[in-house]
Amino acid sequence: MNDINFINLDISKLYRDAVNTLQNELGEVLYEGDERLIFFQSMFGIQVAQAANINDSARQNLLRYARGEKLDAIGLDFYFIERLKAQKARCECKVTLSKTLKEDVTIPKGTRITTYLTDIYFESETDIIIKSGQLYNNGLFVSQETGRKYSGLAEGSINKMVDIIPYVKSIENITETVGGTDIETDEEYRERCRLSKNAISTAGPYDSYRYLAISANAAVKDAKPVMKEPGTVKIILLLEDGAQADEEIISSVKEACSDKTKRPLTDKVEVISAETVPYNINLRYYLDKNHATKEAQYRKMIEGENSDFKTGAIRDYIKWQQNTLGLSISPDELRYKIQDSATYTTLDNEKYTAVRKVEITEPLFTEIDPERIGRVGTINVVYGGLE
């Protein structure tokens, strides 16, 4: 798709036109070294910047270029949809007493728990009552703030009590946290605006079901409608980083896609979370000894800032794998991302990698069904040193 410009941004032409205008106004030719021309040249950058700003403002009247508040206005005024807000994450937690009691124990709404990362807090959504004679009960906890960083926390990782309650021995999550999202990005919102045109139809087209599913809950990053038997539409949900959709997400999508004003009356709608295909990462890599001075920097680019794989090339591969349905599990893609993260450019503008060797034991290449998604299990990355 070609870029659209409302102003000619050819700097050479802008300069020539501006000089000609100046000379016409003065009624004389300006030669190199003329202090008036030198002053004009020093100010010419402002004119170029102004032209670029005017062009950018004009382009933001178009959906493909609009950003931020301007995109919000286009989405609402022309497509009648709003940007999805950030959402809180949630999980089911088990509350256990130190012993059974003869009276009920109430864990009040708002009781807080955290991980050892003290900036992450979850609180009970309602009162949780453990009946007399019982040792434990389960309840729903939600993150105190919105954001995707609250999703994907493993079972048992939120287990540090902030508010101490008599006789309560422990509180810990027994399900992975899901549903936490950041505010919808410009690119995601722009794509939904395009898809929204298909939602007008009640004939059940592919993109109509996809749009309704994505719009139903901010945690849904993609959806794949399939029909394997006549009259039954199965909608497969993809959440951020391949997380499994809980009942709340599934119910919200099913409700949005089952509205009789938006689907054929003959369609039966089923909603499921994408099945996962587990894989492990087990590898050893070596860096080029000629780049020993940047050894620490390259290791961070591969393993993450704190060598915990939360950032860096390993995490980039995991995100790439888990954020698209049907992607084959590919050790070649993993090797490429590792090599590409540690690249440098020579004076001749040639690009090379400082990675000397990558020995991958796992994963093996695995084809994945278009309705499934690969999801990482254990990560074992060993740095072999300089070679």
Question: Cβ contacts of residue 42 below 8 Å, gap of 6+?
Answer: none
CA quadruple 216, 328, 1, 9: dihedral, nearest 10: 100
d(CA 126, CA 123): 9
pLDDT value at 363 more than 90: yes
pLDDT value at 246 more than 90: no
Q: Which uninterrupted H or E stretch holds 73? A: helix 68-78
DSSP code per residue over 215-277: HH-TTEEEEEEEEEETTEEEEEEEEGGGPPP-HHHHHHHHHHHH-TTTS-TTPEEEEEEPEEE
Which runs of consecutive H residues, i.e. helices, occur in 309-382?
Answer: 312-322, 331-341
Most confident of 94-98, 195-199, 240-244, 345-349: 94-98
The whole-number pLDDT of residue 259 equals 79
The whole-number pLDDT of residue 334 equals 95
- What's the mean pLDDT when you consider all of the chain? 90
The whole-number pLDDT of residue 370 equals 84
pLDDT value at 6 more than 80: yes
Q: Tens of pLDDT along 47-67?
A: 888 889 999 999 999 999 999
The whole-number pLDDT of residue 359 equals 96
Helix (H, G, I), strand (E, B) or coil at 363: coil
The whole-number pLDDT of residue 189 equals 94
* 68 band by pLDDT with thresholds 50, 70 and 90: very high
- CA torsion sign for 81, 83, 86, 89 is positive
Residues paired with residue 273 on neighbouring β-strands, in sequence order: 237
Whether the CB-CB separation of 295 and 287 falls below 8 Å is answered with yes
Give the residue among 247, 248, 246, 268 at the shortest CA–CA distance from 257.
268
Q: What type of residue is 79?
A: Y
Q: What is the largest CA-CA distance in the chain?
A: 103
Tell me the pTM: 0.68
Q: Which uninterrupted H or E stretch holds 35? A: helix 35-59
Mean pLDDT over 27-51 rounds to 87
Mean pLDDT over 266-292 rounds to 91
DSSP code per residue over 130-178: E-TT--EEEEEEEEEEESGGGSSPPTT---EESS--TTEEEEEESS--B
Question: Cβ contacts of residue 119 below 8 Å, gap of 6+?
Answer: none
The whole-number pLDDT of residue 135 equals 95
* 200 band by pLDDT with thresholds 50, 70 and 90: low
Q: Tens of pLDDT along 302-347?
A: 999 888 888 899 999 999 988 888 899 999 999 999 999 999 888 8
pLDDT value at 83 more than 70: yes
Whether the CB-CB separation of 304 and 314 falls below 8 Å is answered with yes
pLDDT value at 288 more than 70: yes
* 203 band by pLDDT with thresholds 50, 70 and 90: low
d(CA 191, CA 305): 32
Mean pLDDT over 156-175 rounds to 93
Mean pLDDT over 195-203 rounds to 71
Q: Tens of pLDDT along 84-130?
A: 999 999 999 999 999 999 999 999 999 999 997 668 999 999 999 99
